[in-house]
Amino acid sequence: MKFMLITLIILMALGSPAAFAHEEDYEGRWVRSNEYEPNAFTLAMDKLGRGVVNTGLGVLEIPKQSIKRAVDTGHPYGYVGGLFNGIGFFVLRELAGIYEILTFPFPVPAGYAPVMDPLLGYFPEPHSNH
C-alpha cells in the first residue's frame, strides 16, 4: 500500500505539465480548464480506469460476441458459435483488466497503450442492399 501511494505521489509530481513549462505557455488555461495535455499521471489514471472497466464488465463479452457472430454470419447458429467466442474473450478481458490494474503506474506497453481494443463496444457494419 505504501509503495502504491509513493508511486502515485511521484507520478503526480513528475506528470504535471506546469512543472516543466514556462508560465506564458499556459496563459488562459483557466478558461479552458477541461483541456489538458496528456501526461504520465492522466495516462496512468486512464490505464487504471480501463483495467477496472475491463475487469468489472468483462462478462459482457459473452452476449456481445454471441450477437456479433450472429450478425456477421447472418444465421442464428452464430449465437452458439459466438457464445464460445464470448467465453474466450471474457477470460482475455478479465486478464487484461487485472494486468492493467496491477501495472497502471508503469508506462508498459509504451505510452500506457491499451492491452485490448476496443474497450467494450461493438458497432456492426450496416448491411448493403446490393
State pLDDT tens for residues 26-51. Answer: 555 555 555 667 788 889 999 999 99
Domain count of the fold of the chain: 1
DSSP state of 58: G
pTM of the model: 0.62
The answer to the question of residue 123 being in a domain is no
Q: How many CB atoms lie within 10 A of CB 6?
A: 11
The answer to the question of residue 125 being in a domain is no
The answer to the question of residue 81 being in a domain is yes
- Whole-angstrom distance, CA of residue 36 vs CA of residue 118: 23
Structural domain for 13, as ranges: 2-21+38-112
The answer to the question of residue 98 being in a domain is yes
Q: Please tell me the predicted confidence (pLDDT) of residue 125.
A: 52
Summarize pLDDT for 92-125 with one digit per residue, the tens.
Answer: 999 999 999 999 999 988 888 888 877 665 545 5
